[in-house]
Structure formats: structure tokens, C-alpha cells
Amino acid sequence: EAGVTQFPSHSVIEKGQTVTLRCDPISGHDNLYWYRRVMGKEIKFLLHFVKESKQDESGMPNNRFLAERTGGTYSTLKVQPAELEDSGVYFCASSQLLAGSSEQFFGPGTRLTVL
């Protein structure tokens, strides 16, 4: 069974440009999460989808970030326009929609560098 995949693995862009990150969750996982790790800091929650609906976007830094999950399958996270402080590793995770501690499976992350 394929795990969570993310594309691209690395992205280097200039300040002011737009970047779109993609996450493909494990098939059948209704929960999809985005996290970000800024260098030297904790991995922080950005937002959570249940199927195509945003359930919790309390961690989104500002309105330059837009996440979508059309059709409840893959998700995209767009940063427009990118700023220097957006650099970091963006992780996606997915899990089954179950009561209790449903394990989150993480992708390898996308390393974003904004110059």
C-alpha cells in the first residue's frame, strides 16, 4: 500500500512568487493534516480536512496560505505571495476517521526555501 506522498520534495523560489505544494494521502483516509516545521522550531499544526471540508484551520499563519482538498482526495497548499519566513518543511499526514487515537501517517515533507 502506498504511503502519503508529497510533491515536490524541494522547492526554491524567490520572495513574492507563488508555490503550490501537493499531498496525496493514503487511499481511504478521510482525515488530512498539514504541518510545518520552521528550521530549529517545533513541527506545528496548520490545518485539518475531513474529506473535502476544512475542520480546523487555526494554525494557518495568514491569508497568504490557501489549502484545498477538492473531491476529498489529494490536497494542495498554496503560498501566494511567498515571504522569507515561509521557508521550512511542510508535512502532510493522513489518518482514518475513527474515534480514539487513529494513527497519523506522515509524508516525507516538502522543503520550501524562499530567497
Binding stretches for another protein (CB under 8 A):
3-4, 31, 33, 35, 40-45, 48, 50, 55-56, 91, 93, 95, 97-109
Smallest gap from Cβ 19 to another protein, in A, equals 20
- Residue 35 or 65: the one with the smaller Cβ distance to another protein is 35
Smallest gap from Cβ 15 to another protein, in A, equals 26
- Residue 14 or 103: the one with the smaller Cβ distance to another protein is 103
Smallest gap from Cβ 94 to another protein, in A, equals 11
- Residue 7 or 81: the one with the smaller Cβ distance to another protein is 7
C-alpha closest to that of 33 among 13, 6, 12, 62: 6
Hey, what's the cell of 36? 510545518
Smallest gap from Cβ 11 to another protein, in A, equals 15
CA angle at 111 for the pair 110 and 113, rounded to the nearest 5°? 135
Within 13 Å, how many C-alpha atoms sit on residue 32's CB side? 32
- Residue 18 or 55: the one with the smaller Cβ distance to another protein is 55
What is the β-pairing status of strands 5-7 and 19-24? antiparallel
Q: Which residues contact 105 (CB under 8 A, 6 or more apart)?
A: 3, 4, 26, 29, 93, 94, 95
